[in-house]
């Protein structure tokens, strides 16, 4: 039996606030003070840069970010630059890989599968990228991003699935450092009308729970 999972449904959260929360929860998880925890949320328009940062992949001067209503933050997650914003579903798992018997590669593969299975529910055939193309793709169009941090076997950061974000924000960066590739969304790719975003959020959480094998799940609405 897998460890218990507590799911926090948080709505829209400032990026720095979520970063501090993740750091605290990861510390608490390492100290065995809390069970595995999954944060489900969205961010205001925010560009984040991971450890594999490339300055030239931000195509807009820092001074102009405020004009487009976006922030820029540097993080300790893996990967390069990406965008977070409204109508993009984010999952931040704070889980002990040792307790669930997963290595780093298997963990990332399960995050990819979580988004792939969600997309398939709406007739969208998504798949992992080619070599050096991180995340989840529909053809040559990226629909989901992954950037994780694993410290002492405990994860933070996670995945971001584009449901219907303002894709124009992606024009100001080279997403994840991969040039000449488009970014897409579930709304653009699906041939059916999407339900309310809250429904898709629940489905994404359910995909995560099933793929990771949790069978003791509690929910907190924050």
How far is residue 22's CA from residue 10's CA, in Å, rounded to a whole number?
A: 13
Residue 158 assigned ligand-binding role: yes
Residue 135 assigned ligand-binding role: no
Strands (DSSP E) contained in 133-193 are: 136-138, 141-151, 154-162, 182-183
Residue 184 assigned ligand-binding role: no
Residues in contact with 163: Cβ distance below 8 Å, sequence separation at least 6, in sequence order = 87, 88, 89, 185, 186, 187, 194, 197, 200
Residue 77 assigned ligand-binding role: yes
207 is catalytic: no
Residue 81 assigned ligand-binding role: yes
Residue 212 assigned ligand-binding role: no
Residue 116 assigned ligand-binding role: no
List Cα–Cα distances, 146 to 132, 183, 207, 219, in angstroms.
Answer: 13, 14, 16, 23
Catalytic residue among 3, 132, 176, 207: 176
Alpha helical stretches, state H, the chain: 15-30, 97-100, 104-120, 186-189, 197-212
Residue 101 assigned ligand-binding role: no
How far is residue 111's CA from residue 93's CA, in Å, rounded to a whole number?
A: 10
Residue 200 assigned ligand-binding role: no
Residues noted as catalytic: 176
Residue list for the binding site: 77-84, 145-147, 158-160
Residue list for the binding site for substrate: 77-84, 145-147, 158-160
């Amino acid at each position: 039996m897998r460890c218990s999972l507590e799911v926090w449904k948080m709505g829209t959260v400032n990026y720095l606030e979520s970063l501090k929360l993740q750091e605290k929860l990861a510390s608490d998880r390492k100290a065995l003070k809390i069970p595995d925890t999954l944060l489900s949320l969205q961010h205001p328009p925010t560009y984040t840069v991971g450890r594999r940062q490339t300055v030239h992949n931000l195509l807009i001067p820092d001074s102009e970010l405020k004009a487009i209503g976006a922030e820029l933050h540097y993080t300790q997650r893996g990967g390069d630059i990406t965008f977070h914003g409204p109508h993009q579903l984010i999952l931040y798992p704070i889980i002990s890989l040792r307790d669930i018997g997963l290595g780093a590669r298997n963990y990332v593969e399960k995050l990819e599968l979580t988004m792939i299975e969600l997309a398939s529910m709406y007739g969208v055939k998504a798949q992992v990228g080619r070599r050096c193309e991180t995340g989840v793709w529909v053809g040559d169009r990226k629909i989901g991003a992954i950037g994780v941090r694993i410290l002492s076997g405990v994860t933070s950061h996670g995945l971001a699935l584009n449901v219907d974000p303002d894709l124009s924000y992606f024009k100001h960066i080279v997403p994840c450092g991969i040039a000449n590739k488009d970014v897409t969304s579930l709304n653009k790719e699906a041939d059916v009308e999407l339900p309310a975003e809250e429904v898709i959020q629940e489905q994404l959480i359910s995909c995560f729970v099933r793929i990771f094998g949790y069978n003791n799940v509690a929910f907190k609405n924050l």
